Amino acid sequence: MTTETPRFRLGFLSHVQGRGDDPRRTYRNAQELFVAADELGFDVGWVAQHHVPQGGGGLSSPWTFLAHAAARTRRIRLGTAVTVLPLEDPVRLAEDIATVDALSGGRVEIGVGSGSDEVEYAAFGKDAARKRELTSENLRVLRGALANEEVRTPGFRIQPTAGDYGDRIWQGVFSEAGARHAAAAGSNLLINRAAYGYDAPTDEVQRPWVDAYLDAWDRPHRPRIGLSRFVFPAKDKRTALAQIGDDVHRAALRMARRGAFPKALDVEEALRRFHSFHGHPDEIVAALRQEKVLPVATDLIAQFNPAVPDHDAAMRALELIATQVAPALGWKPAIGTATDTAIDTVIGAAAVIPSPITPVGA
C-alpha cells in the first residue's frame, strides 16, 4: 500500500424524501441540494435507493436521478449509497452507470449493497436468504462489464465504453465479516450512519469493522473509507430539535417494531440510537472530534435522514456543514467553488449564527 494519505473528501447523502404527496416537489428539492452542494464545494453527492417508501417517499431509480443532476452541476461527483445490487441486472446496471459517467465527464462513484427489505426482494422475485450470494455474483459481473470485458456471451461488451472504475466501486457493510468481504473484493468501504441492534454507541461498534477491513486489504493502492453520519447543524440545539426531533422519534419507533431498537424509547434515546450530531456547528465539531471512526475515514458523508427537514432548513444545514463544520475538521472546498454566494442565490442571505459555546480550538 502506498504511504500517501488520501485527501479528506466531504459528501452528502440524500434519501430523496419529502413531506406531503408531491413527488415532483420532493425530487426538485433534492436536485436543488445537489446544485447547492456543487457550488459549496462538496466533493460527492450520494443518493440511496429504496424501492419501498420510507416515511416521506424515496428514490427507486437513482441513475435516472443522477443523470439529471449531472446536467445541472459542474464538478461534484455523483454516487449511490447504495444501489441494491441483488435486485439489479448487473449488465443493464453497468450500461446506466457508463452512460451517466459519460454525460458527467467521469464523475460517477458506484456504491452497492445487499439491502434488507424482504418486500423489495419479493417484488423483484429474489430470495432474500441469498442476498450475500447474489451481491457477490452480481458484483463480479458488474466489475467485468465496467472493465469493458466480454460479459455473458462472446462478443458482447457494454456501451458506451466504460472509464476506469478500479477505485470507484464501494460496498456498504453492516458487520466485520462484511467489511472483510468488501476488502477481499477490492471495494472501497461505506459505513452506515448507525449500527442497528446494538446497545453500545455506533462508533464503538463500527470501528472494529473498519480495522478488520484495513487489516484484510491487500491491494497496492490505499482504499477509501466513506463514513456516513447524521449531521444537522442549526443556530442552536433547540432549533435543530424542532426540525428533526419528531421525524427521528417516529423512525426509531418504526425500527423498534422491527426489533432493531428497544421499544418505548424517547426522543433523546432515538437520537442516540441514530448517532446524531445536531445543534450549533461548534457543538457538532466538538462531538465529531470524539468520533472513533472518523480518524480513519477518507470521506465524511453527511445526511439528514431519518429526518425530513423543511427545504430551507436543509439548504441552510448544507451551507453550515460546508462553511463551518467540515473546515473545522480540516476539509477545504474544491478550487473554483462559489461558497460565498451559493446559498444566497437560492434562499436569500442568511444571518450569522452566534456561538453559544466557546469556539473549538479557541
Rounded to an integer, the average pLDDT of 325-349 is 64
Q: Is the dihedral of CA 340, 344, 349, 354 positive or negative?
A: negative
Average model confidence (pLDDT) for the chain?
91
Contacts of 293 (CB under 8 A, 6+ apart): 191, 203, 206, 207, 210, 227
Q: In 50-69, which positions are buried (b, 16+ CB within 10 angstroms) versus exposed (e)?
A: bbeeebbbbbbebbebbbeb
What pLDDT sits at residue 5? 61
Give me the percent of the chain exceeding a pLDDT of 90: 86
For 193: left if phi > 0, alpha if psi spans -120 to 50, otherwise beta; the answer is alpha
Q: Is residue 358 predicted with pLDDT exceeding 50?
A: no
What pLDDT sits at residue 116? 84
What pLDDT sits at residue 352? 38
For 58: left if phi > 0, alpha if psi spans -120 to 50, otherwise beta; the answer is left
Q: Report if pTM > 0.75.
A: yes
Q: Is residue 346 predicted with pLDDT exceeding 60?
A: no
What pLDDT sits at residue 64? 98
At 244-259, the pLDDT tens digits run: 999 999 999 999 998 9
What pLDDT sits at residue 357? 34
What pLDDT sits at residue 348? 42
What pLDDT sits at residue 10? 98
At 63-95, the pLDDT tens digits run: 999 999 999 999 999 999 999 999 999 999 999
What pLDDT sits at residue 289? 98
At 200-234, the pLDDT tens digits run: 999 999 999 999 999 999 999 999 999 999 999 99
What pLDDT sits at residue 1? 54
Half-sphere exposure of 300 (CA within 13 A, CB side): 27
At 130-167, the pLDDT tens digits run: 999 999 999 999 999 999 999 999 999 999 999 999 99
> Where do we find the cell 467485468?
144
Q: Is residue 43 predicted with pLDDT exceeding 50?
A: yes
